[in-house]
């Protein structure tokens, strides 16, 4: 990339490391910092006061709104059960992603094409998010989580570490996943840490709490306000405290029957 093309695409108030690359027709807002080794593709729109940490790779046609932090290194508390300090691969954000204001994405994550991360979402290290998935406002996705394609995780849901969400899943607002049956007490807990598994097409209603290690089967539906204490069977509606299966999911609601 020529010096002339770089100068033409930089905003005069942005700070860009000499080793960074910014593609043509990409705009950078006031006070934005682009660190060493960053690669930004073409036609991106980077807002004001965005911090892009070293090595981050951003594709074409990506929008990142004001005050977001991209490629942040994790911190490890002395008592952390899951976080480990180690060398992480650069954050990768694929083409046509939308990233809202105040979003924090850690180094070591991978965001596939056409993902939307709404305002104030947090995505930790060792997270992979499949293409065309929507992560809502204020959602927290902890480390070591895999999220499939075309999922929707709504406002302020909490996705705990060590969880897996299959393709086409739906997680409603204020859902809480958990991974520690010992609630932080005794060293024995480290043997049993396990997050939640949502199999393909599973749906979880508002304010549901899922206890550690449960699997919600393919195309299962968990009714709002339930507490899931054991595995939920595929293609069944479960509800209550504790949640129990009550009837089949209607055929017209199954993922394979959607247009």
Render pLDDT for 8-46 as a digit per residue (tens, 0 to 9): 455 567 899 999 999 999 999 999 999 999 999 999 999
Given this model, what pLDDT does residue 207 score?
98
Please, what is the Cα angle at 84 between 49 and 186, to 5 degrees? 125
Residue 137 located in a structural domain: no
- Residue 185 pLDDT > 90: no
- Residue 168 pLDDT > 50: yes
Q: What percentage of the chain carries pLDDT values higher than 90? A: 84
Residue 227 located in a structural domain: yes
Q: What is the CATH number of the domain that holds 184?
A: 2.160.10.10
Element (H, E) at 153: strand 152-153
Question: Do 169 and 231 belong to one domain?
Answer: yes
Query: Model confidence at 1, in pLDDT bands (50, 70, 90)?
Result: very low
Residue 122: CB atoms within 10 Å: 19
Domain of residue 112, residue span: 1-74+88-116
Question: Do 1 and 112 belong to one domain?
Answer: yes
Question: Do 112 and 20 belong to one domain?
Answer: yes
Query: Model confidence at 147, in pLDDT bands (50, 70, 90)?
Result: very high
Q: Which is more confidently placed, 4 or 144?
A: 144
Beta-bridged to residue 245, according to DSSP, are 238
Mean pLDDT of the chain: 92
Residue 257 located in a structural domain: no
- Closest residue by Cα to residue 219 from 178, 153, 175, 167: 167
Question: Do 50 and 154 belong to one domain?
Answer: no
Residue 204: CB atoms within 10 Å: 30
- The whole-number average pLDDT for the span 158-167 is 98
Question: Do 100 and 204 belong to one domain?
Answer: no
Helices (H), the chain: 3-9
Residue 132 located in a structural domain: no
- Residue 156 pLDDT > 90: yes
Given this model, what pLDDT does residue 83 score?
60
- The whole-number average pLDDT for the span 133-143 is 98
| Alpha-carbon distances of 151 from 100, 122, 127, rounded to whole Å | 18, 16, 14
Question: Do 156 and 240 belong to one domain?
Answer: yes
Domain count, the chain: 2
- The whole-number average pLDDT for the span 190-217 is 95
Question: Do 103 and 182 belong to one domain?
Answer: no
- Token pair, residue 216, equals 């919600």
Digit-coded pLDDT (tens) for 69-126: 999 999 876 666 656 667 899 999 999 999 999 999 999 999 999 999 999 999 999 9
Question: Do 106 and 170 belong to one domain?
Answer: no
Query: Exposed e or buried b for every residue in 85-115, given b needs 16+ CB within 10 A?
Result: eeebebbbbbbbbbbbbbbbbbbbbbbbbbb
Question: Do 164 and 109 belong to one domain?
Answer: no
Question: Do 148 and 235 belong to one domain?
Answer: yes
- The whole-number average pLDDT for the span 173-184 is 91
Question: Do 93 and 158 belong to one domain?
Answer: no
- Residue 7 pLDDT > 50: no
Residue 253 is classified by DSSP as: G
63 φ, ψ to 5°? -115, 130
Question: Do 66 and 151 belong to one domain?
Answer: no
Residue 49 located in a structural domain: yes
Residue 50 located in a structural domain: yes
Given this model, what pLDDT does residue 183 score?
81
Residue 131 located in a structural domain: no
Given this model, what pLDDT does residue 4 score?
44
């Amino acid at each position: 990339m020529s010096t002339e093309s770089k100068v033409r695409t930089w905003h005069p108030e942005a700070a860009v490391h000499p080793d960074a690359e910014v593609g043509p027709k990409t705009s950078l807002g006031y006070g934005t910092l682009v660190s060493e080794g960053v690669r930004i593709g073409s036609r991106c729109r980077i807002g004001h006061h965005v911090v892009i940490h070293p090595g981050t790779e951003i594709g074409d046609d990506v929008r990142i709104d004001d005050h977001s932090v991209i490629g942040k290194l994790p911190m490890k508390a002395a008592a952390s059960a899951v976080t480990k300090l180690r060398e992480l691969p650069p954050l990768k954000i694929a083409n046509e992603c939308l990233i809202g204001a105040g979003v924090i994405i850690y180094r070591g994550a991978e965001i596939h094409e056409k993902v939307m991360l709404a305002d104030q979402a947090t995505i930790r290290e060792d997270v992979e998010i499949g293409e065309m998935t929507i992560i809502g406002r204020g959602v927290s996705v902890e480390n070591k989580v895999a999220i499939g394609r075309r999922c929707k995780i709504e406002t302020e849901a909490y996705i705990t570490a060590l969880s897996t969400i299959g393709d086409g899943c739906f997680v409603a607002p204020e859902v809480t996943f958990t991974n520690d049956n010992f609630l932080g007490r005794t060293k024995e807990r480290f043997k049993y840490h396990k997050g939640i598994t949502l199999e393909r097409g599973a749906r979880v209603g508002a304010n549901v709490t899922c206890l550690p290690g449960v699997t919600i089967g393919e195309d299962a539906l968990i009714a709002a306000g339930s507490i899931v204490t054991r595995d939920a069977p595929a293609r069944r509606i479960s509800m209550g405290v504790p949640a129990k299966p009550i009837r089949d999911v209607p055929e017209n609601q199954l993922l394979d029957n959607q247009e």
